[in-house]
Amino acid sequence: MKHDPKIITSSKSLDKEFYNIPLFGEVKIEDKNIPRNYDIGEIVTNSRNSASQSLNVRAADDALSRSGIFSGDFLTVHLNRPLKNNDIAVVQLGHKIYIRKIFFEKKRVRLETDSDTPSPLIIDPATPGFQILGKVITVIREL
């Protein structure tokens, strides 16, 4: 399923800011069995993704709070990454965008939240206006 770039628009120019966040380094857990001498290339990396393969969305609710996604969080969605059961996906259904755990069952797709109260959405993939946009790969929260 192809992504239509006209569907998701941002009121701010987040894309440029979002992808230009420098990664200063990684914090290593100290272990007595691992030597402390690291190569600078191993410590300092830049793991940003190409903007053409990703898009940014902002979570609108706390439906996946037990999975660590809260209202207002910025999410990087990779458009070409394969999905498997229990992955967190961004899907479009009509004019609405959902961030949900996805499950593939026979000829249906089931979308679930972490909450026990709402019923899951069970969708036929051929439903008009339904498309899977991609897999959530990064969550950034403003403090």
pLDDT of 128 strictly over 90: yes
Residue 19 has pLDDT above 80, yes or no: no
124 within domain boundaries: yes
Q: What is the CATH number of the domain that holds 82?
A: 2.10.109.10
70 close to 59: Cβ distance less than 8 angstroms: yes
Q: Is residue 132 in a domain? A: yes
Nearest to 134 by CA among 108, 97, 107, 105: 97
What pLDDT does residue 52 have? 61
Q: Which of 6-10, 51-55, 84-88 has the lowest mean pLDDT?
A: 6-10
Confirm whether 1 is domain-assigned: no
Total domains in the fold of the chain: 1
pTM of the shown model: 0.66
Please write the tens of the pLDDT for every residue from 36-55: 554 444 444 444 545 568 88
81 domain-assigned = yes
SS3 content of the chain, % helix, strand, coil (to 5): 10, 30, 55
Domain of residue 106 covers 14-140
Asked if the structure places residue 20 within a domain, the reply is yes
Q: What is the pLDDT of residue 117?
A: 66
Overall average pLDDT of the 95-121 stretch: 89
pLDDT reported for residue 61: 87
Backbone angles phi, psi at 24, to 5 degrees: -70, -40
